[in-house]
Structure 1
Amino acid sequence: MGATLAIPQKDCVGTCVLNLRLDSKNFQTQKNRLKVQQLFQSYFEQGGCQLQVNVVDTKTLLDAMEHPEKHRDLIVRVGGFSDNFVLLDSKIKEQILLRSEFEA
């Protein structure tokens, strides 16, 4: 049997969620899209239950925090729901910014 996640998510009450922030560069080439696909497949093959993915880079999030008027259409996955980034509380914005960012 293959590797498993450090926390056996199938034993958790409710659903364990992995929050990811992916740079849009991950979707610009077929090679990078395949890496994302393999990342997701590996997560689920090892017992992962749910992914919440935002495709946005750090620069964009920082700019949206400084210039919200330029990013009124920026929608992000928060935690069980999606919302307009510029309308979120600053603590939630910071948490989204701090999520691990994966770049192929």
Structure 2
Amino acid sequence: MPLNWQDVKVKYGGGAKVPTITGGKFVTISDVSDEAIHIWTPIWTAELARADLEKGVALIEEGVISTDPGLFVEDYMLYVTRNRATSTAHILRDLGYLDLTETFSVRC
């Protein structure tokens, strides 16, 4: 199923804490605009571009990018962008695009 940006805005638009794949920590989403998901931490901020997220989901659906969270990060960096690939994995797993049963072991 393609990424429905309106669903993303509803789920995260007011801010959200997304659990990390390994657990125990969270990715803090401060806002969702029409163009990006905005992430905040005490030491950095980042934007995950809507176009990149949509491309990543499309490549998952085409079987180009793995649904295993660890392999996803490598594939996403290769085929889409190196920008916050691990944060993207946490969010796409929360949205149901990545396999929830796999463990997360990637070096970035």
Larger RCO (alpha carbons 8 Å, 6+ apart)? 1
TM over 0.5: no
Q: TM class, shorter-chain normalised?
A: under 0.3
TM-score (norm 1): 0.24
The structure with the greater share of residues assigned to helix is 1
TM-score (norm 2): 0.23
